[in-house]
Chain A
């Protein structure tokens, strides 16, 4: 397979996944900000949303204040933000167009239809209701694309590279949300936080579509260390770091098996997975949640470069 094709498939999957994640962040933020101040406290959730999306620097280069208007525009529609939802779909579709031969008809139609519909949404949502519909639509488009990939692609390197893209992006996103919100999850918060934090925690879980899952797994009211456990170590939770790395290892191993050769990418993925498997939440808190997350983000970036060197360039 052409390296460029693998690269396009990888980024196509990443950008679709990113669009969905941005939509979830915006949805969760909208919910939080709609609540009376007594429930969530005096925080600027919009600023936090920009940080969680990983584009604070780019945002403040254009806007001086983070509020509903500036942030929804920047994260959803702005052409100046290379990672706005609009641009995610643009780039995803451009990648798809460059590798049409490697996509199934269903995948192409899913991404092309999303791209065509996006034009109809315009630049400025007429109302919060319309914006909410837009966010639902983004998530549905991503599901449709992911589902058509899962159901129609041949199980070969093209499929595995696109899966690797999905899980790299997921791991990156979950790590970022943890990085921005980690202070809310520190055990000390149970005492000082009180009810104020409850909705923040729910917001975090919503951003990774895990609120219901939490209750099924722990059968408890929201506890910050359990939320951290769910997002970091729980292999059943599709967006947890552990689950992402389980999938990365599997898909990278399939590529290596198919090509008959292991490389730095496989070794790096396996070592990160081993660290996640051998960690316990209380140890992580003891050595520092923030330090753990930062180290993970670095490891994840290292895997990204190894992938590029080994296959995509």
Chain B
């Protein structure tokens, strides 16, 4: 495996320009100050109640995500490329969804195999030929990006259903500004605090035409037991909209209403943080108590906007991911600005042959697996595991994809032994309204706190950092 690219020190050990001031500051600051600030940050997070739940851990029902006080910095030119690439990618995703649930040109052209769409459980036949307000499906996208060298960013994953994490982007910044005003005065950091306004403008722009001039926007949460509940209440508060649960809503004559102290009030836009499966027990899972009976009928009648639209999972599914560069070219006629991680589809014989020959150096993933399950990391696996995966691959090549093991970039991070490089990824948030696409400069940087670890997932001990985009 190649040595990882460090975002502060580059490959030659000299501070890269965007990090020059931070490197200087890290040289000046006493280690106990950093440690003290870290503890202070933790106290703030705990008091404000920024917690998340880990399912199945009764003891730790509300946990804190470790917060690293050293910011991750992107130069304005790096951000410029990133944001153009993100906008391009989300435009393509929306064009693709419009097509998949519409004319299906891309299937006719043979670019995406039909069985990957129609046999996919996240494909929603209910959405066939269904018009969605203003023809936009994914209004809020979180695109996971990793970096491997000074110039190369890869999209690791598209999140086009109900991406979470934006509250951390906002709260991390608030806490950093409280703890390190001096560090901010030495940089010109682009603000992220306008995100809630941008989000509200986006959601309002998507209201159905039948809605009144000032549409009623609500945030639908599965409730306090959901792992992201804090984020739901945080966003509703910042947006100044009602945080509703399924039981607060009802549908009458194709219109959605909420129960208020003054009687029923019409709802026009639902920023829903509830998965498709649970939205409407009459259409999807009948055992769901989180949804609203009849919601889909109101949606299909065009009387309410769901953000994101139903059925967007067919855009961010692992099986579809490897086709994204072709999808993008098909609809936009452009080269992708952000690359995909090179991916071998084992369903294709020549790819399978390559994967079987190079399995020791690859990561092999189950198409329908998630959370690191059903995965083989070649360089770390023993002979028996590799042999077992070879057999699996030959038996069911369609069920697998393979990718090279990436050397994710690192950033300086506070750990027990002091400041050391740790691997990071980035989730910027892309908002697509009727009028335009909005991207706040920054995102959620997740960091693997353990040395050498590539797992940034918060349920597995990953932490977060504030992400700075420098203004020129």
Question: CB within 8 Å of B: which residues of A?
Answer: 1-6, 94, 97-101, 105, 108-109, 112-113, 116, 157, 161, 255, 259, 261, 311-312
On chain B, the residues within 8 Å of A255 by CB distance are 261
Interface residues of B in 345-368 (CB under 8 A from A): none
- CB <8 Å contact, B259 and A2: yes
Q: Kindly state whether residue B260 has any CB partner on chain A within 8 Å.
A: yes
Binds A, one of B74-82, B244-252, B291-299, B456-464: B244-252
In the bound complex, how far is the Cα of B234 from the Cα of A311, in angstroms?
A: 25
- Asked whether, in the complex, the Cβ of B262 is within 8 Å of the Cβ of A5, the reply is no
Q: Are A116 and B46 in contact (CB under 8 A)?
A: yes
Given contacts A97-B49, A101-B236, A259-B262, contact A2 B248 (CB under 8 A): yes
The answer to whether A94 touches B224 (Cβ under 8 A) is yes
Contacting pair A1 B224 (CB below 8 A): no
Residues of chain B in range 257-281 having any CB-CB distance to chain A below 8 Å: 258-262
Using Cβ atoms and an 8 Å threshold, which residues of chain B touch A1? 242, 260-262
Decide if the interface of chain A is mainly helix, strand, loop or mixed.
helix
Which residues of chain B are within 8 angstroms of A113 by Cβ–Cβ distance?
47
User: Which residues of chain A have C-beta atoms less than 8 A from B233's C-beta?
Assistant: 97, 100-101
Q: Knowing that A1-B242, A100-B237 are A-B contacts, what are 6 other residue pairs whose CB atoms are under 8 Å apart, sorted by A's residue number? A: A2-B242, A2-B260, A99-B243, A105-B48, A113-B47, A157-B261
Cβ of A312: which chain B residues have Cβ within 8 Å of it? 261
B266 to chain A, nearest CB (A): 14
A3 and B46 within 8 A (CB): no
Instruction: Please tell me if the beta carbons of A108 and B49 are within 8 angstroms of each other in the complex.
Output: yes
Asked if A3 contacts B260 (CB within 8 A), the reply is: yes
CA A255 to CA B261, docked complex, whole Å? 10
Q: Which residues of A contact B223 (CB under 8 A)?
A: 98
Chain A residue nearest in CB terms to B241: A101
> Which of B46, B49, B247 contacts A4 (CB under 8 A)?
B247
**A101 and B47 contacting across the interface, CB-CB below 8 Å:** no
Shortest Cβ distance from residue B51 to the other chain A in the assembled complex, whole angstroms: 10
Nearest to A310 among chain B residues (CB) is B261
Return chain B residues, CB-CB under 8 Å to A157: 261
Contacts of A5 in B (CB 8 A): 242
Q: Which residue of A lies closest to B49 (CB)?
A: A112
**B234: shortest Cβ distance to chain A, in Å?**
8
Residues of chain A with a CB closer than 8 A to B49's CB: 97, 100, 108, 112
Complex CA gap A135/B248 in Å reads 38
Q: Is the CB–CB distance between B262 and A101 below 8 Å?
A: no
